[in-house]
Amino acid sequence: MAEPKIKSIGIVNVNFGKDVTVVQPANLYCCSIGADCFIGPFVEIQRGVVIGRGSKIQSHAFICELVSIGEECVVAHGVMFINDLFQTGGPANGDQTLWRATQIGNRVSIGSNATILPVCICDDVVIGAGAVVTRDISQPGIYAGNPAQLLRKLNRKS
């Protein structure tokens, strides 16, 4: 009988700001977490990800490489970020030249089980639970559905 390769989760080479809380188990590596952030259990944050000050990442969220999240954001339970659009008809199989970046602005709240494809989302946006964001969002508002669409505009905070 063959023996599997066993790899452990953990926190490796993370740049933490002041007063960050991480609930174990969590898999964080080669990323940057700003001051006053909260990272819930069963979260994976991959290489090069930047999480801005005061943001909260709830349990079971997956934040892949090439994602940047602004300040005072909430990423709710089970949110998934994707950087591979299967441009060749299948997975990139590690070919990072096929991956795309995601930029999340400040004060963005992403509801439980939303899926965020490689997009840019401006400041002051709410993404509804279960939404699938497939296009850039350049106007503050509340978005929901698959694909996510504007339900109501919000005024920018000053």
CATH of the domain at 16: 2.160.10.10
Task: Answer whether residue 24 is part of any domain.
Answer: yes
pTM for the model: 0.94
- Number of domains, the chain: 1
Task: Answer whether residue 125 is part of any domain.
Answer: yes
32 lies in which domain range? 11-84+99-153
pLDDT in tens, 69-107: 999 999 999 999 999 988 888 888 878 889 999 999 999
- In this prediction, residues 52-81 reach a mean pLDDT of 98
Task: Answer whether residue 4 is part of any domain.
Answer: no
Mean residue pLDDT of the chain comes to: 95
Task: Answer whether residue 94 is part of any domain.
Answer: no
Token pair in block for residue 128: 């509804």
CA distance 57 to 48: 16
CA distance 94 to 4: 21
Question: β-strand 80-81 against 32-33: which pairing, if any?
Answer: unpaired
Percent helix, strand, coil in the chain (nearest 5)? 0, 35, 65
CA proximity to 154, closest of 129, 132, 131, 125: 125
| Identity of the amino acid at 126 | V
pLDDT in tens, 24-41: 999 999 999 999 999 999
Burial of 91 (0-12, 13-18, 19+ CB in 10 A): exposed
The enclosing H or E element of 62 equals strand 62-63
